Chain A
Amino acid sequence: MAEYETHDFDVIVIGAGGAGLRAAIEARAKGLRTALICKSLLGKAHTVMAEGGIAAALGNVYPEDNWKVHFRDTMRGGKMLNNWRMAQVHAQEAPDRVRELEDWGALFDRTKDGLITQRDFGGHRYARLAHVGDRTGLEMIRTLQQKAVADGIDVFMEVKVLRVLKGADGEASGVVGYWRPTGQFVTFTAKAVVLATGGLGKSWMYTSNSWESTGDGVALALWAGADVIDMEAVQFHPTGMVWPLSVRGLLVTEGVRGDGGVLRNSEGDRFMFNYIPPMFAAETADTEEEGDGWYDDHANNRRPPELLPRDEVARAINSEVKAGRGSPHGGVYLDIATRRSAEYIRRRLPSMYHQFKELAGVDITAEAMEVGPTCHYAMGGVRVDADSQETTVPGLFAAGEVAAGLHGANRLGGNSLSDLVVFGYRAGIAAAKHAKERTRNNRTSAIDPGEVKEVINAATAPFARDDGENPYDLQSDLQQTMQKLVGIIRTQSELEEAMGELDTLEKRATNISVRGGVAYNPGWNLATDLPSMLSVSRCVAQGAINRKESRGGHTRDDFPKPDPEMGSVNFVQRIAAGTGGSDGPLGTPSINTITVTPEPLPVMPDELKALLEEES
C-alpha cells in the first residue's frame, strides 16, 4: 500500500467551489502551474446550493448604496466580531468581482436600464443581491468552471485530501490523498497550498449541507499547526424544510422573504414583530402596514422584521415552536402564496416552486411552506491574514467558508458568494506571489516520504480490522450529539456533556473497520472523513463553552446577553507544534490536543468606527 502517484505544481487549490475556482483562475493568470483538487466532480461543489444572490454594493437599484453601507451592514450583522479589514476589503471589491463574472459569461437578471438587478435580503440596508432567479450559485460555479476549463487549469476530480504536509522548513509543501474511484494514493507537491474546502455542517442531523461538508479544510489546517478562530459561530438558517423527514434541513432561500414572504405561527400571527432586538429597532418596521409598504418604497418605510439577520429570525422561530405555536411537523409557516401572484412566485423563485412541488407535494403559490432552522454555515474557521488570506502556517492559504473573519458571529445572506470571489481572487494572487518568491529563493517544496507512508498506512488500517465500529453508525451518533447538545441554543452542562460524548466517539473512531475494497467505497470514504468531522465538532463545542455570552449564531441559554468583554476577543484554537501526535482516528492528532486561548480582536481605525456609529 505504500505505492503512490506523485504530481508537482506551483500552486495547488483544494476544493473547487467558488473560492477554489476563483483562486485557481487567478494563480493560473499569474502564469503558474496550477492544479485544482476536489472531492467530487467539477461543478458539483456546495456553491451550487446557493440560491438568493451575491451581495455587492453595485448601486444599480439604489444609487445611494456604496461600500461603506455594505461594510456597516456586514459588521452589524456579524455583531462586531468580524475582522474589520476583511469586511472592508469585501465591501470594496465585491462589485468588481461581480461585474467580472459577467465579463466571463454569467447572465444575471437585469434592471429596466439593462444593468444587473439586485434583490433585498436580510440585514442589507439596500437591495444589494445580484442574482439569477433563485439559482445564483449554479450560475456562479458554472461561469467559473467554464473559465477554469478555458484557461486550461488541471483538475483532479474525486480526490480526497488526507493531510497537508510541511517541508523541513515548516512551510506548506504539499498534500497526500487518494483517488476515490480507484483508491490509489496520490501526493501533490507545491510551493503554495490554498484551502477552499467549504463548510462543516455535516456534523449535525438537520443541515442544508451535503455529505462533503465535513470540515476537511479546518481540520487539515489545524493538524498542520494553523490557528482557527470563532468556531462556536455556526449559523442556523431560519428556513429549512421540515417535512418530509427525508428532506428535513434542505434550504428554503431567504429570497422568499426578500420577495415578500412572511412568517406566521400556528395561530396565524406574524410573530416576528415580537422579536425585534434593540440593535435593529430603529431600522425595523413595527407595524405590518409599514413593513408591507417597504417592498415598494424603502425611503419612507422601515424593513419588515422577517428580514432581520438570520440569527434573530432562527431564534424567533425556535421560541415559537418551543412555546407550542409551531406547525404540525415542528416548524412555522412561511407564506408567500397569499402575498404575491402565482406568476410572480414562479418567475422569482423557480427552484423553490420546483423543490416543494416535487419533494413535499406542496404548491407554494397556493399554500404556505413549513420551515424551521437548519445548520447552514460556519462563520468560524481558519485564521487568515485579511489581505493575503495566508494562514499562520507559511505557504498555506484559505479562502471562502473554510476561512474565518469576514462574517464575525453571524453571516448576512448573500455575503458568502461575494466572500468566495473576493477572497478567492486575493488568495490566488497571494499564493502565486508566495510560490514565485519560493522559487526565486530556491526554497524546495519537498515532502517527507516517510510521513506520506504513515498517513497511507493509517488510512488503510480500518480494512485490516474485523469487528470494529461501523463508520455510518459513528457518523449518525456524532450528528445526534451535535444536534442535541451543540445546536441553536446552548448551555454549559450540555456543552460539557458534548465534550465527553466527543471523547467517546473519538475512541470508537480509532477502532473503525471497513468492508470491501479501496475503489469507490463510500464506507471507507466516510471513515476518512470522520477524523475531520470529529476535530471540527470538538472545536465548535470547546469554543461554545468558552464564549460565555450570546452573540450572533452562538446563543447561550445561561448567558442570554452579549458581553462587551467577550465581544472583544476571538477564541483561538490550535494544536501547538509537536504536541499533536497521532493518537486520534486514522493517525490524526487526538481532539484532546486542541487548545483554546482568547486573543483581542484587531483594532479598527477611527474612520471606520465612525461609519458604524452613523444613524441608520
Chain B
Amino acid sequence: MTVEPVEDEATEAVAPPGPADDGTVTMVLWRGDPTGGEFVDYVMPSVEGEVVLDVIHRVQASEAPDLACRWNCKAGKCGSCSAEINGIPSLMCMTRMDTLPAGADVVVAPLKTFPILRDLVTDVSFNYEVAKRIAPFNPRPKTVDETKAGGYRMAQIDVERSQEFRKCIECFLCQDVCHVIRDHEENKTSYAGPRFFIRSAELEMHPLDASDRREMLRKEDGLGKCNITKCCTEVCPEHIKITDNAIIPLKERVVDASYDPVAWLGRKILRRTKASVAETSATAAATGPAAIQPDPAVSGMPTAVGE
C-alpha cells in the first residue's frame, strides 16, 4: 500500500484505512437528527494514551463545536457516553484508542436501539419508563433488636449477590445490544430488557425484600422473550454476569411459580378451597403485624435485656 499524504479533506465515501504511522487517525462519526444523517470523517492527530471520548472532544473543540455527544464522568462510572464503536456497543470513555486496530478508521455511531436525538445522542427515555413500573423495594419489618439499635442485620455473604447487580451504571449498553428490542421495536411495550432483569434480580435476591416479582417478570417484563444469547453480558462494562447470575435464576424462579406440573396439579385440586384461604389471609392482614409480632411495649411481653 502506498502511503498518501492525508490532504484529501471531507472524503464522503468510506475512506481507505489511514496510514498507522502518519500521526493521524480518521474518526468516522455519525452526524444527523431524527430526520436523517450521514457519517462524516474527521482527521485528527493521534495522541498517546487517549480514549475515544478524548478524540471526540478534540473534534468538538476544533472542527465541529456542535457535535452532540453525551458524557459526564469520563471514568466509566456514570454510564453516559454509550455508543457503538466499530459496531460494538461500548463506553467512549473506557475505550482506549490503542486497543482499536492500528491504522484503521474509527467508526462511532449512536446506540441503534433508541431513537436519535442528534449525532451520537439518543433518546433513552424507554429505560426511565421501564424503571417506573418496577415494583419498588419492599423491606421486611425490623425485628425488635434491629429497631432498638443498629438497624437491619445482614451477613456480608447475603448482600454480595445483590451487590453485583447494584454495580450497574445504567449505560444501557445491554439494552442496546439485546436483539429482542434492537431488532423488534414492537417488543418495547412488553419487554423490560437486561438492565431491568438485573434490577428485579437484585430485589428478588435482596436479603430484606419481601415482595414476589415473578408474575410481573413473566407478564409485563416479558422475561420469557430472552433466549439467553448472552450478548448483554458481553458488552457490560461492569462485567456483571447478567445472563448467568440474574436472568437464568429469574427464569428458574418464574418457571417454578408458573409451570411446575406438580404445583399446577396442586392448584387445580386446591382451587375449591381458594375462597377460604383468601379469607384467612384477609383476616391476618386486617389484624396487622402486631398479631404476628407482638409489640412488647403494648402487649407487656418481657423484653430480652433492657438498655
Q: Collect the chain B residues with CB atoms within 8 Å of residue A277's CB.
A: none
Residue in B47, B73, B163 whose CB lies within 8 Å of A107: B163
Q: Are B66 and A516 in contact (CB under 8 A)?
A: yes
Q: Are A49 and B77 in contact (CB under 8 A)?
A: yes
Within the complex, what minimum Cβ distance (angstroms) separates B196 from chain A? 12
Interface segment among B19-27, B129-137, B213-221, B241-249: the answer is B129-137
- Give the docked Cα–Cα distance between A116 and B162 (Å): 16
Residue in A138, A155, A358 whose CB lies within 8 Å of B169: A138
Q: Collect the chain A residues with CB atoms within 8 Å of residue B168's CB.
A: 142
Q: Collect the chain B residues with CB atoms within 8 Å of residue A105's CB.
A: 137, 139, 203, 206, 208-209
- Give the docked Cα–Cα distance between A514 and B66 (Å): 8
Q: Are A44 and B80 in contact (CB under 8 A)?
A: yes
Q: Is the interface of B mostly helix, strand, loop or mixed?
A: loop
Is A42 interfacial (CB 8 A cutoff)?
yes
Q: Are B49 and A244 in contact (CB under 8 A)?
A: yes
Is B94 interfacial (CB 8 A cutoff)?
yes
Interface segment among A22-30, A428-436, A520-528: the answer is A520-528
| A residues 110-166 touching B (CB-CB < 8 Å) | 110, 113-116, 132-133, 135, 138-139, 142, 146-147, 149-150, 155, 157
Q: Collect the chain A residues with CB atoms within 8 Å of residue B69's CB.
A: 522
- Give the docked Cα–Cα distance between A34 and B127 (Å): 22
Q: Collect the chain B residues with CB atoms within 8 Å of residue A517's CB.
A: 66
- Give the docked Cα–Cα distance between A43 and B128 (Å): 10
Q: Are A472 and B60 in contact (CB under 8 A)?
A: yes
| B residues 152-203 touching A (CB-CB < 8 Å) | 152-156, 159, 162-163, 166-170, 203
- Give the docked Cα–Cα distance between A155 and B125 (Å): 12
Is B307 interfacial (CB 8 A cutoff)?
no
Interface segment among B115-123, B224-232, B288-296: the answer is B115-123
Q: Collect the chain A residues with CB atoms within 8 Å of residue B118's CB.
A: 181, 519-521
Chain B interface residue number, banded: 35 or more
Residue in B123, B132, B153, B154 whose CB lies within 8 Å of A181: B123
Within the complex, what minimum Cβ distance (angstroms) separates B70 from chain A? 8
Is A99 interfacial (CB 8 A cutoff)?
yes
Task: Identify the closest chain A residue to B61 (Cβ).
Answer: A472
Q: Are B74 and A41 in contact (CB under 8 A)?
A: no
Within the complex, what minimum Cβ distance (angstroms) separates A100 from chain B? 9
Q: Are A142 and B153 in contact (CB under 8 A)?
A: no
Q: Are B74 and A210 in contact (CB under 8 A)?
A: yes
Within the complex, what minimum Cβ distance (angstroms) separates A491 from chain B? 31
| B residues 74-132 touching A (CB-CB < 8 Å) | 74-80, 94, 96, 117-119, 121, 123-124, 128, 131-132
- Give the docked Cα–Cα distance between A354 and B77 (Å): 11
Q: Are B75 and A522 in contact (CB under 8 A)?
A: no
Given contacts A48-B78, A107-B206, A522-B65, contact A245 B155 (CB under 8 A): no
Is A247 interfacial (CB 8 A cutoff)?
yes
Task: Identify the closest chain A residue to B69 (Cβ).
Answer: A522
Q: Are B72 and A44 in contact (CB under 8 A)?
A: yes
Given contacts A49-B75, A135-B77, contact A146 B136 (CB under 8 A): yes
Q: Which residues of B pack against A, CB within 8 Å?
A: 33, 47-51, 54, 60-61, 65-80, 94, 96, 117-119, 121, 123-124, 128, 131-132, 136-137, 139, 150-156, 159, 162-163, 166-170, 203, 206, 208-209
Given contacts A44-B73, A519-B68, list 4 more A-B pairs with CB under 8 A.
Answer: A43-B170, A138-B169, A246-B49, A524-B66
Is A402 interfacial (CB 8 A cutoff)?
no
Is A103 interfacial (CB 8 A cutoff)?
yes
Q: Are B71 and A211 in contact (CB under 8 A)?
A: yes
- Give the docked Cα–Cα distance between A338 and B79 (Å): 32
As a 0/1 sequence over residues 178 to 222 of chain A, the CB contacts with chain B under 8 angstroms (1 = contact) are 000100000000000000000000000000001110000000000
Task: Identify the closest chain A residue to B119 (Cβ).
Answer: A520
Q: Collect the chain B residues with CB atoms within 8 Å of residue A524's CB.
A: 66
Within the complex, what minimum Cβ distance (angstroms) separates A471 from chain B? 7
Q: Are A48 and B65 in contact (CB under 8 A)?
A: no
Within the complex, what minimum Cβ distance (angstroms) separates B174 from chain A? 15
| A residues 506-520 touching B (CB-CB < 8 Å) | 514-517, 519-520
Q: Collect the chain B residues with CB atoms within 8 Å of residue A116's CB.
A: 151
Is A40 interfacial (CB 8 A cutoff)?
yes
Q: Are B150 and A115 in contact (CB under 8 A)?
A: yes
Q: Are B121 and A115 in contact (CB under 8 A)?
A: no
- Give the docked Cα–Cα distance between A608 and B69 (Å): 51
Q: Are A102 and B151 in contact (CB under 8 A)?
A: yes
- Give the docked Cα–Cα distance between A247 and B79 (Å): 16
As a 0/1 sequence over residues 271 to 286 of chain A, the CB contacts with chain B under 8 angstroms (1 = contact) are 0000000000000000
Is A611 interfacial (CB 8 A cutoff)?
no
Q: Are A515 and B153 in contact (CB under 8 A)?
A: no
Q: Collect the chain B residues with CB atoms within 8 Å of residue A473's CB.
A: 61
Q: Are A139 and B80 in contact (CB under 8 A)?
A: no
27 A-B pairs (CB sep. < 8 Å): A41-B128, A43-B78, A102-B151, A103-B139, A103-B151, A105-B208, A107-B206, A109-B156, A114-B152, A133-B163, A135-B167, A138-B167, A138-B169, A139-B166, A146-B137, A157-B128, A246-B49, A246-B50, A247-B49, A359-B75, A359-B94, A360-B49, A472-B61, A516-B65, A520-B117, A520-B121, A522-B66
